[in-house]
Amino acid sequence: MTSFEMESRLTKARRKMTDEGIEAVLVTHNANVFYLSGFSGSSGFILLTLEEAFLYTDFRYLQQAEEQARFFEVVRVTGSNDYESAAAFLKKKGLKTLYLEEAHITLREYNQLQEKIRLTAAAVELLPLHNFFEELRALKEDSEIELIKSAAAAADEALRQTVSLLKPGMTELEVASELEYRLRRGGSERLPFDIIVASGVRSSLPHGVATGKLINEGELVTIDCGAVYGGYSSDVSRTFVLGSPSQKQQEIFDLVLEAQQLGIGSLKSGVECSSVDALVRNYLQKRGYGSCFGHGLGHGVGIEVHELPTLSPRGKGTLQEGMVFTVEPGIYLEGWGGVRIEDLVVLTPGGPRIITAVEKYFEVG
């Protein structure tokens, strides 16, 4: 992250704080700490006001924090929930309110913070904050998109290599281990989520993580994986059949592919997130499979593998240029199997651009 990008993110955050009447925020979610400061350690929190920016971390990460968080004053604390210094600063500045990321602070941490504020005699009201930084993160900078593209390329190549090894008699766990090895060898810093390998009737499980089940000739195999590059994630799913597909397998695969193409073709700036999902969902409903598509059409991808925007019946807001998200319709038939096809898409001034490059062939082996 360049100095310009770091300063720009702080500027955007403070502008939004001003617009919403927020004088101080405690940032405890690691993804948001990284986004604001560039600090990638696993223990630390930020106190951000309209004028000051503090990063609190313990001895293990002090040097790293000084190197990465160049626009922050780094303060040493004894642990991730040591709020004494932050409480003292709030009192010194006479700040009356402090907003907390309600989805990312535990009851224990809240109580500890409240106790530190009480002991310092600071008259500070603790207020909830919802999706404040997540909304900023939804619009990707060019450098972020490039990192996501690199993560996608690593996952694409690892998936290609692993699929070439697929054969009857392998277990799902063996496939997952081969894939993880190739992801890491290809540059992935870690796994953004547990690899999904679900075969046969288990392919009807949208999140069917790998088991010791043997993969047999003629079975559907759904693989869902991602990579992390420069702190940014990717996500891709493909469904294959070992050998020649049956007529029903081919029909379901073709239908899911058509649904995905329909969804991608409808993407443009200003479109309601929920309406894109509704378009695809209604299409599958008319084909008799509406009840077999139980999850949302897509989700944002960035520092986290699930972030805004959300393309689902409950998705809020509109699509905007610079957003990166998945389009992943699926059909899941209990006792038979399932098919999901997932691509990463970035919305550009010229329309949607597919980042995922791995082929959508169906028959392997």
Q: According to the 3-state scheme, what is the secondary structure of 14-59?
A: HHHHHHCCCCEEEECCHHHHHHHHCCCCCCCEEEEECCCEEEEECH
Tell me what percent of the residues of the chain surpass a pLDDT of 90.
Answer: 94
How many Cβ atoms from other residues are within 10 Å of residue 201's Cβ?
17
Domain count, the chain: 2
Q: Say whether both 175 and 317 belong to one domain.
A: yes
Range of the domain at 21: 3-137
Residue 264 has pLDDT above 90, yes or no: yes
Q: Say whether both 163 and 276 belong to one domain.
A: yes
End-to-end CA distance of the chain: 43
Residue 120 has pLDDT above 90, yes or no: no
What is the reported pLDDT for 108?
A: 93
Residue 41 has pLDDT above 90, yes or no: yes
Q: What predicted TM-score, i.e. pTM, was given to this entire model?
A: 0.95
CATH number at residue 100: 3.40.350.10
Q: What would the two tokens of residue 26 be?
A: 């405690």
**Per-residue confidence band for 247, with pLDDT thresholds at 50, 70 and 90:** very high
Q: What would the two tokens of residue 364 be?
A: 């392997």
Give CA separation, 174 vs 272, 359, 361, in Å.
41, 22, 22
Domain boundary among 137, 162, 194: 137
Q: Say whether both 149 and 118 belong to one domain.
A: no
Q: For residues 275 and 277, what is the distance between their CA atoms, to the nearest angstrom?
A: 5
Q: For residues 219 and 117, what is the distance between their CA atoms, to the nearest angstrom?
A: 60
Strands 125-129 and 220-225: unpaired
Residue 364 has pLDDT above 90, yes or no: no
